[in-house]
Amino acid sequence: MPVFFVTGSDTGVGKTHVAGLLARRMARDGFTQVIKPVESGAAAGRPADALKAAGKWADAHTLMALPAPIAPLAAAKKARKQLDLATLLKLYRAVPAAPCRVVEGAGGVAVPIDPKGKDWSDFAAAIKPMAVIVVVEDRLGAINQARLAIAYLRRRYDGPMGVWLNAIKKPSPAVAASNRAGLADAWIPLYGESGPGKKPARFHFLPR
C-alpha cells in the first residue's frame, strides 16, 4: 500500500492543502485515504483537516481529535487523553487498508507527540512511508527552513524525503528562483510546488 507522509517545517505552511492536492491526484488510481493521526484545535464548527484534505476524492480519518488549539501534548493533557507514539501507531494500524494513503502530521516535523520527546520523525520511521513530504512556505527563508527540517528528519528516518514549496503569498521571481536553486545546491529533492489562486500544482515525483 503506497503511503505518503506529509509534514512541515512549521505550522501554517499549507500541509492540509498539499495533502489535499496529493489525495486528489492519487484518487485517479483508486480509493484513497487521508489520515490525520492527531489534531488539536478540533473544536465544534471547525472542519477537520482530514475532511478538508479528503474533499470528495478520499476517505477521511482523524484518529485523535483534541479541542484545545495548542500543542498536541498540551491539548491531550487538557482533554485528559493519553497521547504517545505507541497509542498513535495502534490507532493508525487499526484503520482498514486502502490502495493509497496520505497521512498528515500536526505542526512541524519536530513537534513532540510523546511525553518522552518522540515526534513525527519517529512516527515516519515506524510507518515506513513511500516518501516523506516536508511542506515549506515558498518565501524568503525557505532554504534555511528546508535544510533544518530535512537535516532533523534524517536523524531518525532513513527513507525517501523531499520538500514541497507552497506559496501562501506569491514570492518575487528572484526569491522563487533562489529557493529552488538553494534546494538543488543542498541536494534536497523538490517534490512539488503550489501557490495561491488557481495556478495548478506541480508534482515532481509523480506522473502528471
Which one of 15, 36, 81, 198 is the catalytic residue?
36
**Rounded Cα–Cα distance for residues 84 and 97 (Å):** 22
Identity of the amino acid at 136: V
CA distance 197 to 174: 20
| CB neighbour burial string for 135-152, b if at least 16 within 10 angstroms, e if fewer | bbbbbeebbebbbbbbeb
Strands (E), 87-206: 100-104, 131-137, 161-166, 190-194, 202-203
Grouping H, G, I as helix, E, B as strand and the rest as coil, residue 184 is helix
Assign 3-class secondary structure to 28-85.
Answer: HHCCEEEEECCEECCCCCCCCHHHHHHCCCCEEEECCEECCCCCHHHHHHHHCCCCCH
Contact 89, 57 (CB under 8 A): no
36 is an active site residue: yes
Enzyme catalytic residues: 36
